[in-house]
């Protein structure tokens, strides 16, 4: 795999170079010191993956991501060492098509790159996304099995539920959907967006500011509550268990999608008392399509984003192929459709 590095800091470039070079079959194709240089080099020599910093001179990483995706679409992974005050740029880049975000590894006192393991996991996941199947792993995990004897919390399970899954381009798409859902709609919202644990709290804060909804990271034992948005916030999967509460699980361990939309959707189908509305938004790969079909078969109203408005028409396309979506809609129509169908429940 040919991997490009875009970063203006020499120590960061060296740390990234050492992490990439530590894996047989990975090689650094080129290095750019700013976003403008990255755009030029990508047009001349398109790599398999670009590791894109955010704060750089001349052109920042968000603008570079936008221009690369317009002129020579390439898989871009945001790699940033500056989190504070930088979340908006990260989510802007993801809105333009960056697939995920991870912290930049550092050089230790002995010269070894530290913190590179998660970066390598993300790169490996990118390589698997197009054709990896998770169904057997989901079934092995036991998360899709219904516990018929479990005690139900009927009061919590009576709340109408909106479930949203997204990946590449997801943050901006989620904003578009939530801002078109009335704040007084008596429904709970749960979201799985492919994003690293370091960036999930920033996503929750950013969404709350953009949408004016109460948004927070889901915790173990949380129960959906009307008027509140919960977001999967770890590198494990957010799953619903018997009784209608959430917990995080590492299983299935071999899925390239973390956190997985299929895990969330599949466990909602097993453990949520009444049908709700499920939405699958823009994203690379096929995550969420199987889970959306399962929800449809359980009586949920299911929606997928259309190709024209998707940054990457991977996940919604997979749902369309399976017949999992009852409606395929442009992004600006999804929120209103969600609200209209929640009111029918």
Q: What is the mean pLDDT of residues 301-328?
A: 97
Domain boundaries along the sequence of the chain: 2-128, 135-343
Task: In whole angstroms, give the CA distance from residue 31 to residue 6.
Answer: 6
Decide which of 240 and 139 is more confident: 240
Assess contact for 281 and 316: CB atoms under 8 A: yes
pLDDT tens per residue across span 198-227: 889 989 999 999 998 899 999 999 999 999
240 three-state secondary structure:
strand
Q: What is the DSSP track for 42-76?
A: HHHS--SEEEE-SS-SSS-HHHHHHHHHHHS--EE
153-179 confidence digits (pLDDT tens): 333 557 899 999 999 999 999 999 999
pLDDT attached to residue 183 = 87
138 has a pLDDT exceeding 60? no
User: Residues 250, 267: contact at Cβ < 8 Å?
Assistant: no
Nearest to 287 by CA among 245, 246, 232: 232
- pLDDT tops 80 at residue 343: yes
* Across 294-315, average pLDDT: 96
32 CB neighbour count, 10 Å cutoff: 24
Quote the tokens at residue 336: 């209103």
Q: Which two tokens stand for residue 21?
A: 């070079």
Q: Name the residue with higher pLDDT: 86 or 104.
A: 104
* 3-state secondary structure (DSSP) of residue 121: helix
Q: Residue 250 has what pLDDT?
A: 94
Residue 2's pLDDT is: 95
Q: Are 230 and 198 in contact (CB under 8 A)?
A: no
Percent of the chain whose pLDDT exceeds 70:
89
Q: Grade residue 83 by pLDDT with cuts at 50, 70 and 90.
A: low
In angstroms, how far is CA 63 from the centroid of its own chain?
A: 20
pTM of the model: 0.81
* Torsion over CA: 35, 41, 42, 48 (sign): negative
Percent of the chain with pLDDT over 90: 70
What average pLDDT does range 328-336 have in this prediction?
98
Tokens 């709970």 label which residue?
188
Among all residues, which ones are annotated catalytic?
A: 167, 194, 287
Q: How far apart are CA 132 and CA 148, in angstroms?
A: 31
Q: According to the per-residue pLDDT averaged within each range, which of 151-155, 182-186, 335-339 is highest?
A: 335-339
The architecture (CATH level 2) of 2-128 comes to: 3-Layer(aba) Sandwich (3.40)
Asked if 259 and 236 count as a contact pair (C-beta separation under 8 A), the reply is yes
As a whole number, mean pLDDT of residues 308-324 equals 96
**What local confidence, expressed as pLDDT, does residue 245 receive?**
94
Q: Are 275 and 298 in contact (CB under 8 A)?
A: yes
3-state SS class at 87: helix
Strands 100-103 and 75-80: parallel
Average pLDDT, the chain: 88
pLDDT at 48: 94
Closest of 262, 279, 265, 269 to residue 337, by C-alpha = 279
Pairing verdict, β 301-305 and 106-107: unpaired
Q: What is the pLDDT of residue 197?
A: 87
Cross-strand bridge partners of residue 162: 189, 277
331 to each of 250, 327, 328, how far by Cα in Å? 31, 12, 9
Beta bridge partners, 79, equal 102
Q: What pLDDT does residue 152 have?
A: 34
**Where are the extended beta strands (E) located within 36-187?**
49-52, 75-80, 100-103, 106-107, 113-114, 161-166
Say what the pLDDT of residue 131 is. 43
Tokens of 3: 């991997």
- Does residue 140 have a pLDDT over 70? no
Residues in the chain: 345
Inform me whether the pLDDT recorded for 132 exceeds 60: no
Bridge partners of residue 245, in order along the sequence: 241
pLDDT (tens digit per residue) in 19-43: 999 999 999 999 999 999 999 999 9
- Homologous superfamily in CATH for domain 135-343: Methylesterase CheB, C-terminal domain (3.40.50.180)
199, 92 Cβ separation under 8 angstroms: no
pLDDT of residue 196: 86
pLDDT of residue 329: 98
Given a cut of 70, whether residue 290 has pLDDT beyond it is yes
SS3 155: helix
Q: What are 131's two structure tokens?
A: 């054709």
Q: What is the pLDDT of residue 148?
A: 33
Report whether pLDDT(87) > 90. no
What band does 142 get if pLDDT is binned at 50, 70 and 90?
very low
Contact 339, 180 (CB under 8 A): yes
């Amino acid at each position: 795999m040919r991997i490009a590095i875009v970063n203006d800091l020499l120590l960061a470039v060296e740390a990234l170079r050492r992490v990439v070079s530590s894996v047989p079959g990975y090689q650094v194709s080129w290095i750019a010191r700013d976003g403008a240089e990255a755009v030029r080099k990508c047009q001349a020599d398109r790599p398999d993956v670009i590791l894109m910093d955010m704060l750089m001179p001349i052109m920042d990483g968000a603008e570079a991501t936008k221009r690369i995706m317009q002129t020579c679409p390439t898989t871009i992974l945001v790699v940033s060492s500056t989190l504070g005050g930088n979340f908006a740029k990260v989510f802007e880049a993801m809105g333009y098509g960056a697939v995920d975000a991870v912290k930049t590894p550092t050089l230790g006192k002995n010269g070894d790159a530290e913190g590179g393991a998660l970066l390598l996991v993300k790169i490996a996941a990118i390589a698997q996304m197009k054709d990896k199947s998770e169904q057997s792993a989901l079934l092995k995990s036991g998360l899709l099995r219904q516990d018929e004897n479990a005690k139900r919390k009927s009061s919590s399970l009576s709340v109408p539920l909106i479930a949203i899954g997204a990946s590449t381009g997801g943050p901006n798409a989620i904003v578009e959907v939530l801002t078109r859902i009335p704040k007084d709609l008596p429904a709970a919202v749960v979201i799985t967006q492919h994003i690293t644990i370091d960036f999930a709290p920033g996503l929750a804060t950013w969404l709350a500011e953009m949408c004016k909804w109460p948004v927070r990271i889901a915790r173990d034992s949380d129960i959906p509550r009307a008027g509140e948005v919960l977001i999967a916030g770890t590198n494990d999967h957010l799953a619903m268990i018997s009784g209608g509460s959430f917990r995080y699980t590492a299983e299935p361990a071999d899925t390239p999608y973390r956190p997985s939309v299929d895990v969330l959707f599949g466990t909602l189908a097993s453990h949520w008392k009444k049908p709700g509305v499920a939405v699958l938004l823009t994203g690379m790969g096929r995550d969420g399509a199987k889970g959306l079909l399962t929800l449809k078969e359980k009586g949920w109203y299911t929606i997928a984003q259309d190709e024209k408005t998707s940054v990457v028409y991977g996940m919604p396309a997979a749902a369309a192929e399976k017949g999992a979506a009852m409606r395929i809609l442009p992004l600006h129509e999804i929120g209103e459709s969600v609200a209209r169908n929640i009111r029918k429940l």
